[in-house]
């Protein structure tokens, strides 16, 4: 069975500071990895994904994540956060070829001025 | 292109009642998946439908059921509601179903169900 662990339930950070949200997964088969963001009273939006190829993936708004197979990790980073990045972030995994997503428990990113 | 829509957005029911939630996928999308989001259990997969057939099912009791219509719209039903069914129910659509490689899932805003 697959599982995803997000080690931090909440990460407070000041605006323009760097941030890392940690994600570890377990799976016995090949997986796809995802980061989703959820703003208050909204659904989930895909932030970035790893399917294959380059282990470093980037989003259009400055986030990046690196797939590390040996450490079974997919940590999310941003070098300089904005107030508008305040949201809950979910790491997720799916078996290749399947639509079922297994989510972590989420990390609430709180950006203050 | 319109996104995934879910109706109603908010719902209040009492224990023992049943409820039906609706999801309209993005035009052209044929796969619909449902997830339950609660503070205690987080996001959990309920089931996936494709071409009116349930393709995958999560670990939920039989009180949770769903269906998909020929126009790909989907409904989920919860019978004999319990307090623990209070949650945000999210629907996601994608072009095709499991077994066809990666297909991005697009999520709707959810239906918030409160059971009193």
Over residues B12-27, the pLDDT tens digits come to 999 999 999 999 999 9
In B45-104, the residues whose Cβ lies within 8 Å of chain A are 45, 48, 55-56, 58, 90, 92, 94, 97-104
Burial grade of A87 (CB within 10 A; 0-12, 13-18, 19 or more): buried
Q: Alpha-carbon distance A28 to A63, whole Å?
A: 28
What share of chain B in percent tops pLDDT 70?
95
Q: Alpha-carbon distance B50 to B32, whole Å?
A: 7
Q: How confident is the model at residue A42 (pLDDT cuts 50, 70, 90)?
A: confident
Q: DSSP per residue over B28-69, as a string?
A: T--EEEEEEEETTTEEEEEEEEETTEEEEE-S--TTEEEEE-
**Tokens, residue A82:** 């904005």
Taking CB atoms and an 8 Å limit, are B48 and A100 in contact across chains?
A: yes
3-state secondary structure of A95: strand
What share of chain A in percent tops pLDDT 70?
97
What integer pLDDT is reported at residue B99 of this predicted model? 62
pLDDT at B107 over 90: yes
Range with top average pLDDT, A56-60, A92-96, B37-41, B111-115: B111-115
In A40-99, the residues whose Cβ lies within 8 Å of chain B are 41-46, 49, 51, 90, 92, 96-99
Residue found by looking up tokens 């945000």 in the block: B88
What integer pLDDT is reported at residue B11 of this predicted model? 96
**Tokens, residue B68:** 């998909």
Q: How confident is the model at residue A97 (pLDDT cuts 50, 70, 90)?
A: low
| Per-residue pLDDT tens over the stretch B24-53 | 999 999 999 999 999 888 999 999 999 999
């Amino acid at each position: 069975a697959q599982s995803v662990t997000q080690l931090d339930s909440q990460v407070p950070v000041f605006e323009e500071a760097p941030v890392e949200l940690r994600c570890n997964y377990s799976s016995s088969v090949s997986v796809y990895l995802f980061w989703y963001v959820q703003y208050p009273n909204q659904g989930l939006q895909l932030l970035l994904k790893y399917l294959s190829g380059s282990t470093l993936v980037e989003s259009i708004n400055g986030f990046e994540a690196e797939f590390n197979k040996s450490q079974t990790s997919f940590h999310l980073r941003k070098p300089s956060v904005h107030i508008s990045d305040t949201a809950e972030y979910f790491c997720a995994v799916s078996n290749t070829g399947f639509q079922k997503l297994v989510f972590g428990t989420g990390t609430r990113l709180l950006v203050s001025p | 292109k319109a996104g995934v829509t879910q109706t109603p957005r908010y719902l209040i029911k009492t224990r023992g009642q049943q409820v039906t939630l609706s999801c309209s996928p993005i035009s052209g999308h044929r796969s619909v998946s449902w997830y339950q989001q609660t503070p205690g259990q987080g996001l959990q997969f309920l089931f996936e439908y494709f071409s009116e057939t349930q393709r995958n099912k999560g670990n939920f009791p039989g009180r949770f059921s769903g269906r998909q219509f020929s126009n790909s719209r989907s409904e989920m039903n919860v019978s004999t509601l319990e307090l623990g069914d209070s949650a945000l129910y999210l629907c996601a659509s994608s072009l095709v179903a499991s077994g066809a490689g990666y297909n991005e899932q697009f999520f709707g805003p959810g239906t918030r169900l409160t059971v009193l």
